[in-house]
Amino acid sequence: MTNNIDILVLSNGPGEVTTWVRPVVQALRQKLADDRDRVRISVVLSPCPNASGKEAAIAQSYPEVDRVQAAKHFWQFLLWGKTADNWDWRTRGVVVFLGGDQLFSVIIGKRLGYRTVIYAEWETRWHSWIDRFAVMKPDLIDSAPSKHTHKFTVVGDLMAEASGGVRSEERGVRSEQGSRGAGEAGENNYQLPTTNYQLPITHDQSKIELIGLLPGSKAAKLSQGVPLMLAIAEYIHTQRPQTRFVIPVAPTLDVQTLAEFANREKNPIIPLVEGSTAELIPHPSPLLKTASGLVVELWTRSPAYDLLSQCCLCLTTIGANTAELGSLGVPMIVLLPTQQLDAMRAWDGIPGVLVNLPFIGTSMAKVINWLVLQRLGLRSWPNIWAKSEIVPELVGKLQPQTVAELVLDYLQHPEKLEEMRSKLRSVRGQTGAAAKIAQIVYEELK
């Protein structure tokens, strides 16, 4: 392989940056070199309707990455080839597509004279102009023009790398929770912190049930998810006081912003979901305290795989987090409340234009989202992998007590949780997609 090369990773949204870019740049360093004079990795972000604005900071936090350009500078780079910081480019390199529009790879690859590698889940385009396709499943090869199928390699699902791509020192020694009953703790990977509002638990920590609450990272989900999950947690706690709750705060979010969604003055949606309010207690460790005295701890370290692996069950919204939980084999219940039906406005194409129009956008959003929800099939990644519902997906005007009763049923019947764990393990797929992509990049550089 020639020395002094550039790897340019194109990506966009928070899910892609955290679950695709992270394992791929780790695999690239392992395969190519950790010598920055020989191999330089740059990440360029394109605009995404689901972006939080913190994707650049997250990508920059990856030690394998040398340079990052935020999405706000993308169009200047795409049209004129100039980055905001006037980056130089080496004569040899590869453009690796990990989110956005595949056409961007064609344009940028041709301008820089680099080889191009596309990772594709559901469709492939621009076959004549792309050098290699790393695809999730063989079906994409069957649907491609026959004269281009030699460019295709099945690498598997990058979502299955969600936990596998994290270094062992970051995740700790992961416990085999599946071999234990609900509520048993693991091998000191995560110790429940002692707070000023510690629950009056008299037995030892190993018997504490830990439930993870994952309300999402975007305002449209958080406005409903945070108060709804707090209300569910309060009901569960009245029935099982030994249960502890924790929110792994998304890396694109800070605890102050998260807490605002539990504040009735700042979140008018709370009454719609019959949700609970909470006060942020920032020190000594951040937590939310509800009016009933329930404490929900806030975990700010990312990735939170060591924490999640200790949860007997998680309540989550749809998104990349379901892939992470599935990869870890953690049982989950997926919630999609629809009390605020106009909240979802991050659609692509014509629907995205309609729901964001002035005056009529709210009405259009309600109609389009209702139609989509009626036709939408399986929504969480484990169920998509399995092509059947192995984790419950609850959609509609969800009531806290109804969801809490379902959680209690699982906690009272640990064999049901064990069955869900077993099914998650069977469908989560083999890890290795990132390493296979790194191998393809290596071959294109030879």
334-361 per-position pLDDT tens digit: 998 886 655 554 444 455 555 455 656 5
Expressed in angstroms, the distance from the first to the final Cα of the chain is 5
Residues β-bridged to residue 396: 337
- Tell me what the mean pLDDT of segment 414-428 comes to: 90
Is the domain defined by 172-426 classed in CATH 3.40.50.2000?
A: yes
pLDDT of residue 52 exceeding 60? yes
Q: Which residue has the higher pLDDT, 317 or 356?
A: 317
What integer is the mean pLDDT of 242-267?
93
Residues 283 and 227 sit within 8 Å (Cβ to Cβ): no
Q: What is the pLDDT of residue 21?
A: 93
Q: Assess whether the previous peptide bond of 303 is cis (omega < 30° from 0).
A: yes
Produce one character per residue of 58-80: b if its CB has 16 or more CB atoms within 10 Å, e if not: bbeebebbbbbbbbebbeebbee
Identity of residue 68: V
CATH topology of domain 5-163+431-445: Rossmann fold (3.40.50)
Task: Return the pLDDT at 195.
Answer: 42
Cβ–Cβ < 8 Å for 445, 115:
yes
138 within 8 A of 121, measured Cβ to Cβ: no
Specify the pLDDT at position 162.
Answer: 60
24 Cβ contact partners less than 8 Å away, ≥ 6 residues apart:
9, 96, 98, 119, 158, 434, 437, 438
Q: How confident is the model at residue 185 (pLDDT cuts 50, 70, 90)?
A: very low
pLDDT band at 263 (very low <50, low <70, confident <90, very high): very high
Residue 413 confidence (pLDDT) above 80: yes
> Within 13 Å, how many C-alpha atoms sit on residue 321's CB side?
26
Q: Is the pLDDT of residue 200 over 80?
A: no
Distance of alpha carbon 377 from alpha carbon 372, whole angstroms: 9
Give the tens place of pLDDT for each residue, 92-132. Answer: 999 999 998 999 999 999 999 999 999 998 889 999 999 99
pTM, entire model: 0.68
Answer with the residue of higher pLDDT: 302 or 79. 79
Q: For the chain, what percent of residues have pLDDT higher than 70?
A: 80
At what angle are helices 414-427 and 320-328 packed, to 10 degrees?
A: 100
CATH 3.40.50.2000 residue ranges in the chain?
5-163+431-445, 172-426
Q: How far apart are CA 322 and CA 327, in angstroms?
A: 8
